[in-house]
Amino acid sequence: MSEAMLDYEDVIAKYEPTLGLEVHVELNTNSKMFCGCATVFGAEPNTQVCPVCLGMPGSLPFVNERAIESTILIGLALNCEIAKWCRFARKNYFYPDMPKNFQISQYDEPICFNGYLDVEVETDEGMQTFRVEIERVHMEEDTGKSLHMGGATGRIHGADYSLLDYNRAGIPLVEIVTKMIPGTEKYAPLVAKAYVAELRDILRSLGVSDVKMEQGSLRCDANVSLSPRGSGILGTRSETKNVNSLRSVERAIRSEMQRHAARLDDGLKVVQETRHFHEDSGITTSGRSKETAEDYRYFPEPDLVPIAPDPAWVEELRATLPERPSVVRARLQKEWNIADKEMASMVNAGVLAVVIETVALGADSTKARSWWVGEIARQANERGVEVIDVGITPADVARIVELVSTGDLTDKLARQVVDGVIAGEGRPDDVVATRGLKVVSDDGALLLAIAAAIASDAAAAEKVRGGNLNAAGALIGLVMKATQGQADAAKVRELLLKELGH
Amino acid sequence: MISRDDVAHLAQLARIELEATEIDHLAGQLEVILGAVARVQEVAGADVAPTSHPLPLKNVFRPDVIRPSLTPEEALSGAPASEEQRFRVPQILGEE
C-alpha cells in the first residue's frame, strides 16, 4: 500500500512544484443558508432539519442575507472584485449527503473573484512575501454527515450501509479557490501552510466563521503538481482531501511532492485523482478517481433570483474591514519592539491572534508572548492540537500574568496554574484555590522555614555567615522544598541573608 | 443531433433505467424539443438578454433568524429506514 517517496532535497533538485488550494469555510450564521434551521455544532442528529434542507418536494430555498454579507466581506478582505450581478447554480449529483440530489452552489458567476493574499514565510534569506492569487470566492451549502456502518474500519469502502444526519446540510459554506501558485520552490509546503494560517486569521478577524479545523468549519483541499526543473511543462496534479490542521497542510503537500517525484523518476505517470491524508502516518492514499466524475450538469438555480449587491452596500462593508493582518504585524512589531524572528516564531506557532487578545486584556506583551510561544505552544504540540484549542484562553493568560506581577504567583507556580487550566480544572483563580498555589508571602512562615533550614544544614549556614554567598543556594532549596515551591525565591534569599548577618 | 448514446448517458447520470426501445423513443422526442428551443433562439434578437428566471426580481433575502425545525420523529417519519435517529441508506460503495 505504501508508495515510494523521493528524498525531499532530491525532489527540489529535479522538480518545481505548483500549488493550488481550495479552502471551504463554514460561516457562523445563526441559521442555515436557505432555511431558518439552527446551525449549532454537535447538536443531536436530525434536530436542525426542515423540509427545505431535507429536500422535500414543494419546499423552496430562501437566501440568508448575513451569509451574503459575510461572503462579500471575505472577498473584500482578499482584495477581490465583487460581482455586480451573479446567480446560484445547481450542481447535480446523487449522493446521500445531499437529499435534494443537488447542491446549490455557484458556477461561472462567483460573487467574488480576482483577488490575492500576501503570505510571509521564513526562508534562508529571512522573511519573504509570497503573493497567492485568488481565483474566486463563492457561496454554497454544506452537506450532511455520514456514518458508515459494518465493515472493519468505519470507512465507506466495505461498509454494509450508512446513517445520515442532515444537521450540517444547508449550513452556509464559502469556497475560496486560489489560482495556480508557481515559484514557491522548496518552500511550497510552508507557503501552503502560511496561506491557510493567514486566511484563518483573516476570517477570524472578520468574525464570519469559527474557523475550527478540527471541527471541520475550515477545511483545506491541497493540490500540487511537479514539473521537471526548467521544462516549463505543468505536471499532473493530485488533490488531497481531509487535511484537518495547519501542520497537516504542510505535511500533505510535502508527502505528495515526494510521492509524485518518485513516480516521475521511475517513468510512471501521476494519476489525476483525489487522495486522502492520514494524520497518523503522514501519507496519502488514493481516493475516488476523477475520470468518471465531474459531470455535474450545472444550470442556473431556478428557485432563486439573481444577486446584485448594491455598490453602496459593498462600500459600507469595505469601510468596516478590520486592519489587514500583515499591517497589524508591522505595527505590533514596532509597538512591542521585537525582531522579525520573534514575530515569525509567533506566526509559525499560530499564536499571534491570542497574544494580541491577551495584551488587549492588559498583559505585558513580553510576558504574554512568552507564555503562548513557550509553555502553551509546547503543550498544544504535545496534544497535537492548535494552540487556540488547547483549553486556555487569552483572558486566562492575562489573569496569570497579572497574578505574577502582583506577586501572588511565582513563575514556577504560574506554570502549574497553566497546567491546571489546560487540564480542565477551571479558570486560573479556581486552579489557584483548589491546588492551593498561593505564594507564601507571610514573612513569619518564611522565617520559620528558614530557621529550620539553617538548623538542618548548619555547615552551609556557617559558610554563608563567613561570606560565601554561593552556599546560600542549598539553604534556599530547603526552604523552597519546605514551602512546596510556593515561596518567592528572591524573597527567601533576601530574608535568609539578613538572618545570617548580611 | 441527440444520439442514443447521449440519452443513455443522461439516463445514467439521472439514475433512470431505460429500455432500448425507450431510448429510441426519447432520443426522437428530445430532438423535437431542442428544435423548438432553437427556433425561439432565432426569434430573440441581440436586444433580448438571455434569461434564467421569469421574475424581474433580485436580492430577495431573509434576515439571519432561527425558525423552528422539525422534530427528529417528524423528519424521519417518511424515511424507508432509520437507525440512531439517522436516515439509513443502502451501501454507497462496494468493496475496493
Mark whether A107 and A169 lie in a shared domain.
yes
Least CB-CB distance to A163: which of B68, B86, B93?
A: B86
CA distance A450 to A461: 10
Picking from A35, A46, A289 by the largest number of B CB atoms within 10 A of its own CB, the best residue to mutate is: A46
Are residues A116 and A21 part of one domain? yes
Is residue A317 within 8 A of residue B68, CB to CB? The reply is no
Distance in angstroms (rounded) separating the CA atoms of residues A115 and A310: 20
By C-alpha distance, the chain B residue nearest A96 is B89
- A45 within some domain: yes
Residue B43 Cα, gap to closest chain A Cα (Å): 22
Average pLDDT over every residue of B38-51: 83
CATH code: domain B1-45 is 1.10.20.60
Residues of A in contact with B87 (CB under 8 A): 46, 96, 99, 163-166
Contact B96 A157 (CB under 8 A): yes
Reading the block at residue A294, the C-alpha cell is 465531474
Rounded Cα–Cα distance for residues A49 and A334 (Å): 50
Quick one: DSSP state of residue B2? -
Distance CA A275, CA A129 (A): 29
**What's the 3-state SS for A279-307?**
CCCCCEEEEEECCCCCCCCCEECCCCCCE
The one-letter amino acid at A134? I
Q: Do A46 and B89 touch (CB under 8 A)?
A: no
pLDDT at A458: 85
Question: Looking at residue A288, what is its pLDDT?
Answer: 65
- Same domain for A400 and A482: no
A451-499 residue pLDDT tens = 888 888 888 888 888 888 888 888 888 888 887 777 778 888 888 888 8
Q: Among residues A230, A177, A128, A199, which one has the least CA distance to residue A19?
A: A177
Do A335 and A299 fall into the same domain? no
- Is A198 inside a domain boundary? yes
Mean per-residue pLDDT over chain A, rounded: 91
- Which of A15-19, A169-173, A411-415 shows the lowest per-residue confidence on average (mean pLDDT)? A411-415
Q: Is A214 in contact with A245 (CB distance < 8 Å)? A: yes
pLDDT at residue number A292: 52
Q: Residue A453 sits in a domain of what CATH number?
A: 1.10.10
Instruction: Work out the pLDDT band at A119, boundaries 50, 70, 90.
Output: very high
Which of A208-217, A310-319, A477-486, B17-26 shows the lowest mean pLDDT across its residues? Answer: A477-486
Cell of A284: 496519502
**Averaged pLDDT for residues B56-85:** 96
From residue A99, give the alpha-carbon distance in Å to each of A11, A264, A293. Answer: 44, 41, 19
Q: Would you give the distance in Å from CA A21 to the centre of its chain?
A: 16
Strands (DSSP E) contained in A292-433 are 299-300
| Residue A417 pLDDT greater than 90, yes or no | yes
Contacts of residue A142, Cβ cutoff 8 Å, sequence gap at least 6: A26, A168, A169, A170, A171, A172, A173
- Mark whether A96 and A133 lie in a shared domain: yes
The highest-confidence range among A340-344, A347-351, B7-11, by mean pLDDT, is: B7-11
pTM for this model (two decimals) = 0.80
Nearest-CB residue to B87 (from A92, A164, A297):
A164
**Residue A326 in contact with residue A201, Cβ under 8 Å?**
no
Give yes or no for residue A424 having a pLDDT over 60: yes
Do A236 and A375 have their domain in common? Answer: no
Does residue A35 belong to the interface with chain B, where contact is any CB pair within 8 Å?
yes
The per-residue DSSP string of B37-80 comes to: HHHHHHHS-TTS---S-SS-----EE-S-------HHHHHTT-S
Any B CB within 8 A of A295 CB = yes
Q: What is the pLDDT of residues A59-113, one digit of tens each?
A: 999 999 999 999 999 999 999 999 999 999 999 988 899 999 999 999 999 999 9
CB contact under 8 A, B72 and A47: yes
Claim to verify: residue A408 and residue A455 sit in the same structural domain: no
A436 within domain boundaries: no
**B62 alpha-carbon distance from chain centroid:** 25
Please compute, for residue B22, the number of CA atoms within 13 A of its CA located in the half-sphere on the CB side: 6
- Please say if the pLDDT value at position B39 is more than 60: yes
Complex confidence, ipTM: 0.89
Query: Quick check: is A426 in a domain?
Result: no
Of the candidates A315, A332, A361, which is a domain's last residue? A315
- The verdict on A144 and A242 lying in the same domain is yes
Cell triple for residue A296? Answer: 455535474
Residue among B20, B57, B66, B7 at smallest CA distance from A305: B57
Please say whether the dihedral angle defined by the alpha carbons of residues A427, A432, A433 and A435, taken in this order, is positive or negative. Answer: positive
In this structure, the answer to whether residues A43 and A134 fall within a common structural domain is: yes
Q: Which of A59, A76, A154 is nearest to A111 (CA)?
A: A76
Q: Which residue from B55, B61, B96 is facing A63, i.e. has the nearest CB?
A: B61
Q: Report CA-CA distances (Å) from A276 to A213, A237, A367, A370, B77.
A: 16, 14, 41, 36, 35
In a domain, A354, yes or no: yes
Find which of A387-391, A404-408, B4-8, B81-85 is predicted with most confidence, using mean pLDDT: B81-85
C-alpha cell at A113: 473573484
Cα(B80)–Cα(A370) distance, rounded to whole angstroms? 58
In percent, the amount of chain A with pLDDT more than 70 equals: 97
* A383 & A358 share domain: yes
> A159 in contact with B at a CB cutoff of 8 Å?
yes
What pLDDT, in 10s, does the model give residues A436-448? 887 776 777 788 8
Q: Which of A281, A315, A349 is the last residue of a domain?
A: A315
pLDDT confidence band for A291 (50 / 70 / 90): very low
- Same domain (yes/no): A358, A291: no
**Chain B residues with CB inside 8 Å of A95's CB?**
92
Q: Give the other-Cβ count within 10 Å of A87's Cβ.
A: 21
Domain that holds residue A479: 443-499
Counting the structural domains of chain A, the total is 3
pLDDT of A462 reads 86
Residue A290: pLDDT above 60?
no
Q: What tens digit of pLDDT does each residue of A243-256 get? A: 988 889 999 999 99
To the nearest whole Å, the CA of A62 is away from the closest chain B CA by: 7
Q: Comparing B45 with A316, which gets the higher pLDDT?
A: A316
Q: For B61, which of A65, A161, A300 is closest by C-beta distance?
A: A65
Task: Name which residue leads in pLDDT, B50 or A135.
Answer: A135
Q: Measure in Å the smallest separation between the Cα of A395 and chain B Cα atoms.
A: 30
User: Minimal CA–CA distance to A36: which of A59, A58, A18?
Assistant: A59
Is A143 at the interface with chain B, CB within 8 A? no
- Kindly report the length of chain B: 96
CB contact under 8 A, A166 and B87: yes
Q: What does DSSP assign to residue A311?
A: H
The amino acid at B30: L
Query: Residues A327, A285: one domain?
Result: no
